Amino acid sequence: MNQSFNARLPGLAILWLILLSMPYWIGLVGGYTDLASRLLIIGLAAMATNLLVGHSGVMAFGHAAYFGLSAYTTGLVINHWMPSTPLAFVAGVLMGTLGGALVGFLLAKLRGIYFALATIAFGQVFFFIAFRWNAVTGGDNGLTFQRQPIDLGLLRIDLTHSLPYYYTALAVFAVCAAAMAMILRSPFGHTLLAMRENERRARFLSIPVNRHLWMAYTVSCVFVAVAGSLYGMLNNFVSPHDLHWTQSGDFVLMAVIGGMRSFWGPLLGAAIFVVAQDYLSSLTQNWMFFIGLIFVLVVLFLPRGIAGLLQRRGA
């Protein structure tokens, strides 16, 4: 275990050095600070989705529902209850988690294509509620709000500016990444891997598979809800599109491109997706064609994703 960690230490140091310094060099390559924040937040959502899909072995296409539910709750709290960023963030995460826990409980007995289709169906329920409930969500026009500074007495963090918001999002990302790593290294995480590799054998070992799947679904939704709240505050806006099943598909696509069996692979996939989307969409409306081409090439030639290729080269 220690030797494995020591082998990964240089790569982790490089990764965190890149993330810590990103706002200062991203402009040199044609980017901007808010793009760096979006990369972090979408990367967190992809890693959270992969916690269920890549490490538990079930295919889920409904995580955008909890992503968008958290973002809407954050905006509604700021607009109608109390203009407090921490309170809105906590409320958004709790609401997204509650929605995920409820749906996960209903899905825990399903497997295979039935599980995947049910996640889409439940996700679309949330989408149509957001789309039709104009009085609360703004319908197709979306919901606009303004994130607020955080006043800690001696310290005031002005989140209305891009740079403080990036480092706040990075701090939240770091906490979530550490929590996910601890979960995956725990006995619960090893149980999820056992279920992924051979569910029947896991049942023979008296593992309550359905309960563990529900727990994994809920934990995954916690981190997706964190990303959703941060994403809403990044844009100061949330729309029904943020709950659509295609957004969930994008999270899975990022995990596949980066590497579903790798912890950091989805972050790499998210970086490729977000940067390509930002750059290519300014050149052509058919930018998704190039993302699809990358996806096909990865599936055909890099079944373990780009992170898998980097790991083999490192070894």
State the DSSP string of 56-78.
Answer: H------THHHHHHHHHHHHHHH
Q: Supply the Cα-derived Rg of the chain in whole angstroms.
A: 19
Residue 283 lies in a domain: no
**DSSP conformational letter for 157:** E
CB 107 within 8 A of CB 85: no
CB 70 within 8 A of CB 128: no
Residue 48 lies in a domain: yes
- Predicted confidence at residue 315, as pLDDT, reads 55
Query: Residue 237 carries which side chain, given as an amino acid letter?
Result: F
Contacts of 229 (CB under 8 A, 6+ apart): 70, 71, 73, 74, 88, 89, 92, 93, 96
Query: Residue 83 carries which side chain, given as an amino acid letter?
Result: P
- Predicted confidence at residue 271, as pLDDT, reads 93
Residue ranges in the chain whose pLDDT is less than 50: 1-3, 5
Contacts of 200 (CB under 8 A, 6+ apart): none
What is the tally of helices (H) and strands (E) in the chain?
14, 4
Separation between Cα atoms, residue 109 and residue 36, nearest integer Å: 39
Q: How many CB atoms lie within 10 A of CB 13?
A: 10
> Is the C-alpha dihedral spanning 294, 296, 300, 305 positive or negative?
positive
Residue 22 lies in a domain: no
- Predicted confidence at residue 1, as pLDDT, reads 47
Residue 17 lies in a domain: no
- Predicted confidence at residue 105, as pLDDT, reads 95
Q: How many domains does the chain have?
A: 1
Residue 267 lies in a domain: no
At how many degrees (to 10) do helices 64-80 and 245-258 cross? 120
Residue 266 lies in a domain: no
Q: What are phi and psi of 237, to 5 degrees?
A: -165, 145
- Predicted confidence at residue 6, as pLDDT, reads 55
Residue-wise over 40-72: b if at least 16 C-beta within 10 A, else e?
A: bbbbbbbbbbbbbbbbbbbebbbbbbbbbbbbb
Residue 308 lies in a domain: no
Residue 254 lies in a domain: no
In which domain, by residue range, is 79 found?
31-244
- Predicted confidence at residue 307, as pLDDT, reads 83
The model carries a pTM of: 0.93
- State the DSSP H helix or E strand holding residue 238, giving kind and residue range, or none if neither: strand 237-238
